[in-house]
Amino acid sequence: MAMANPLLQVRNLVVEFPTRRGTLTAVDDISFDIAEGEVLGVVGESGAGKSMTGAAVIGLLEPPGRIASGEVLLEGRRIDNLPYEKMRRIRGKEIGAIFQDPLTSLNPLYSIGRQLTETIMTHTDMTPTQARARAVELLAEVGIPAPERRVDQYPHQFSGGMRQRVVIALALCVNPRLIIADEPTTALDVSIQAQIIALLKRLCREHGTAVMLVTHDMGVIAETADRVAVMYAGRIAEIGPVREVIKNAKHPYTHGLMGSIPAIGHDADRLEQIPGSMPRLTDIPPGCAFNPRCLHAFDRCRRDRPELIAVDDGQVSCWLYDTAAGRTTAEAKAIVASRSGTAMERADG
């Protein structure tokens, strides 16, 4: 899918982890774009490579993890091969980050204000007085009451939700173009989650900040994202506009994922579930990584790895949508939507 002027482009990114028992590929040849001001949701199970992708973009892969190949471009400039010092100046200033656990993201020994001013002064020419005024302003913006007083307090004096607001203020303090939010609400109470997501959404809209929102919570994605990328075993299974992916899932994995979400008002006796579990990085099957669990897998799925194929407004990596097979998109979707394991034979015959 070509985008007019993507802010972030990820091209054929491969992230590897050398271990004693051989090299593991955590992110396997993925490509996607994020437009100015767009919210891209990245969903997947634990270990699908979604957090790794975020860490690779911001250049903070934990060693020995490394980008083995591929490119990351910010406004057309390559940033994945920058020397440490240059990348450091991009982090925080152009790409901000929010991590999962607000309770541990803040240094317990420094006041909130000190952590804010330190970040502001690292990236701008502000004087300490200006930076402090900006810090108070930011705290007010993220909805912290009495910011003039709170600015001098320490992280332990804030509740979990308040701390995540502070973390958001820290990520946004010099107006980055892109924020990578890695499970920003997972560690919080459900009631606080909605507030934090609403805050993040509002701030990013106001500042025109793009967001890469990594989560395993489809509800958060549905509420927040413009587009969503579904990851499975280090690859993108499907990417497209959020309504499209949720209402009209094309990949059998996405379809199964949506079926497993309980819906209020539907009196289903049992939730659907996808049989089996995601393969470990050490034994990803040949062909499509999902094929052992897929109800609709056929020979080719076990042999060749599907690339992303453009379907409607999105892309999906599934051989069912291979135009060379002479199947229409509608037929392929019908197969995915059917629950029977024999659907494939019918379609083939």
156 makes contact with other proteins (CB under 8 A) = yes
Helix (H) or strand (E) holding 344: helix 343-348
Q: Least CB distance from residue 32 to other proteins, whole Å?
A: 21
60 makes contact with other proteins (CB under 8 A) = yes
Contact region with other proteins (CB under 8 A), list: 25-33, 91-99, 197-205, 270-278: 91-99
Token pair belonging to 298 = 């056929």
Q: Is the dihedral of CA 100, 37, 227, 231 positive or negative?
A: negative
Q: How far apart are CA 29 and CA 234, in angstroms?
A: 8
Options 74, 90, 308, 336; binder of other proteins; rule CB under 8 A: 90
| Nearest residue (CB) to other proteins, 179 versus 316 | 179
Options 78, 88, 280, 303; binder of other proteins; rule CB under 8 A: 88
Options 15, 40, 142, 170; binder of other proteins; rule CB under 8 A: 170
96 makes contact with other proteins (CB under 8 A) = yes
Where in the chain does DSSP place strands (E)?
6-19, 22-35, 39-43, 66-74, 77-78, 95-98, 178-182, 210-214, 227-232, 235-241, 309-311, 314-316
Whose structure tokens read 């007083």? 149
Token pair belonging to 277 = 């579990």
Contact region with other proteins (CB under 8 A), list: 154-162, 190-198, 227-235, 271-279: 154-162
Options 154, 223, 284, 325; binder of other proteins; rule CB under 8 A: 154
Options 36, 101, 312, 322; binder of other proteins; rule CB under 8 A: 101
92 makes contact with other proteins (CB under 8 A) = yes
306 makes contact with other proteins (CB under 8 A) = no
Options 51, 53, 117, 119; binder of other proteins; rule CB under 8 A: 119
Closest to 117 measured CA to CA, from 146, 152, 155, 68 = 152
| Nearest residue (CB) to other proteins, 25 versus 124 | 124
157 makes contact with other proteins (CB under 8 A) = yes
Contact region with other proteins (CB under 8 A), list: 16-24, 67-75, 151-159, 199-207: 151-159
Whether 296 contacts 317, CB under 8 Å: no
Whose structure tokens read 């407004």? 313
User: What letter would DSSP give residue 240?
Assistant: E
Options 66, 123, 207, 300; binder of other proteins; rule CB under 8 A: 123
CA distances from 156 to 107, 160, 237 (A): 10, 9, 41
Helix axes 160-172, 112-123, angle to 10 degrees: 10
By the criterion CB under 8 A, which residues form the site for other proteins? 58, 60, 88-93, 96-97, 99, 101, 103-111, 118-119, 122-123, 153-154, 156-160, 167, 170-171
